[in-house]
A = this chain, B = another copy of it.
């Protein structure tokens, strides 16, 4: 059931390729601009659609920072979370088996199935603390 595959187009490959190269989180508009800069002819709409599809297929990560655009990122396999610096935006990937099992357990206790969750940790990193 490759529900999320669709057809193999130049644009789709371009987005996927770009995501493999760049590090960190980027907004859809950001990615679109980068693609344009490197000469790829692609519409903003398509970037959005592609990102949505990739996110749905769990191939990329979506983060919704308070008060902003959605940010996308190719992430390492498996489920994980992010530790984000409020000052400089630097992000660290963290895995939390503890949280996973806890969330599942709690949900099950309340009769919930098909469980997923989102977790973001915000803080100020050492460097930004020194500056402030």
Contact = CB atoms under 8 A, between A and B. Distances in A.
Q: What is the total number of copies of this protein in its complex?
A: 2
A123 B108 CA distance: 9
A95 B22 CA distance: 37
A78 to B, nearest CB: 16
A112 B96 contact: no
A1 interface: no
A129 B122 CA distance: 34
A6 interface: no
14 contacts: A83-B110, A85-B112, A94-B106, A94-B110, A96-B102, A98-B98, A98-B99, A98-B102, A99-B102, A99-B119, A112-B123, A113-B129, A115-B121, A115-B122
